[in-house]
Structure 1
Amino acid sequence: MNLTPFLRYFQKEKENILSILAIDYGKKRIGLAVTSTFIPTALKSIVVENTEKVFLDISDVIKENEVTEVVVGLPLNMDNTESLMTEETRKFAAEIEKRFKLKTTMVNEQLTSKEAEEKLAITEKNWKKRKNKIDSVAACIILESFLKQKNNEEKQT
């Protein structure tokens, strides 16, 4: 893995190390990943049972990791049109920003779950174990995409 894009994004924040939480939002499971010493790390998946429990779990992750920014994967159709899930995810991201007073950015998450499944198929042969990790690995891919995008923006300025 090439760490250059990740390191460049954090260079400006040497005194204040940023901790970014990435969220792969879903109706059944929500995947979480954070930057840990500049490297995106899959954390866990939250099983969606009730809304308040979800926000309590996210609150714990934010506190434990001293999160300063949140990235939420935006589900778009393959033709880049929006779906009902896109609107639901936008509402979820707005609620994250409102509750935790953190900058929240949406990032296109097309094919991240498929990519996560392919990566896990190499290391985890047990489907049940793999299924439980897909969402957090997808969140990690969303975070990698966000950091690469930020790095490219900074190169252009």
Structure 2
Amino acid sequence: MRIMGLDVGSKTVGVAVSDALGWTAQGVETISISEQEGKFRLDRIEELAKEHEVDKVIVGFPKNMNNTVGPRGEASQKYAKLIEDKLGIKTILWDERLSTMAAERILLEADVSRKKRKKVIDKMAAVMILQGYLDSQK
């Protein structure tokens, strides 16, 4: 079974999936959501989970630098609970402080245009979240 990684934002969710052995994370897609309208696209998460035979989801947990939980962290906690309650898939919250900034830096160093960066930044952050979790399991 594989593991899915999610970078949850207010407008998008970046998705990554592990290989079958749980060694590497690959970006899958970025899903548009609308947090304000309550459109969390769990249907698409479920489709991807079935397609990739996922049995666990790692949800990025953006804590503040002083280790407190702010509004984005609370939103990630709620999203993880929705996945568990509605899809029945085990979730783990994973500290993802600075993952989006690190992904942005990598894309800048690769000279990716601003327009293309906007399209892939969340997916890349999901890869970094999932890879961090996978590396910690070794």
TM-score by length of 1: 0.79
Residue 95 (structure 2) pairs with residue 108 (structure 1): yes
Match of 1:128 among 100, 115, 120: 115
The aligned counterpart of 2:83 is 96
**Structure 2, unaligned stretches of length 5 or more?**
none
Question: 2:2–2:19: 8 Å Cα contact kept in structure 1?
Answer: yes
Q: CA deviation at 1:149?
A: 1.8
Once the two structures are superposed, residues 66-114 of structure 1 have per-residue CA deviations (whole angstroms, 9 ceiling, x without a partner) of 1111100001011111101211211110010112211110000000001
Q: CA deviation at 1:52?
A: 4.6
Match of 1:69 among 47, 56, 64: 56
Of stretches 115-124 and 28-37 in structure 1, the one that deviates more from structure 2 is 115-124
AA in 2 matched with 1:70: V
The aligned runs of 1:133-152 (5 Å cut-off) are 133-151=120-138
Q: CA deviation at 1:48?
A: 1.3
Q: 1:116 to 1:46 in 2, by over 3 A?
A: same
Q: CA deviation at 1:53?
A: 5.9
The aligned counterpart of 2:24 is 39
Could you tell me the percent identity over the aligned residues? 33
CA distance in 2 between partners of 1:92 and 1:109 (Å): 15
Instruction: State the secondary structure of the residue aligned to 1:21.
Output: strand
Instruction: State the secondary structure of the residue aligned to 2:25.
Output: strand
The aligned counterpart of 2:2 is 19
Instruction: State the secondary structure of the residue aligned to 2:54.
Output: coil
AA in 2 matched with 1:32: V
Q: Looking at CA atoms only, which structure, 1 or 2, has the larger radius of gyration?
A: 1
AA in 2 matched with 1:84: P
CA distance in 2 between partners of 1:114 and 1:47 (Å): 20
Runs in 1 of length 4+ with deviation above 3 angstroms?
A: 49-53
Question: 2:33–2:39: 8 Å Cα contact kept in structure 1?
Answer: no
**Structure 1, unaligned stretches of length 5 or more?**
1-17, 152-157
May I ask how many residue pairs the two structures share in their alignment? 134
Q: CA deviation at 1:123?
A: 3.0
TM-score by length of 2: 0.90
Q: Which structure: greater strand fraction?
A: 2
Match of 1:82 among 69, 81, 95: 69
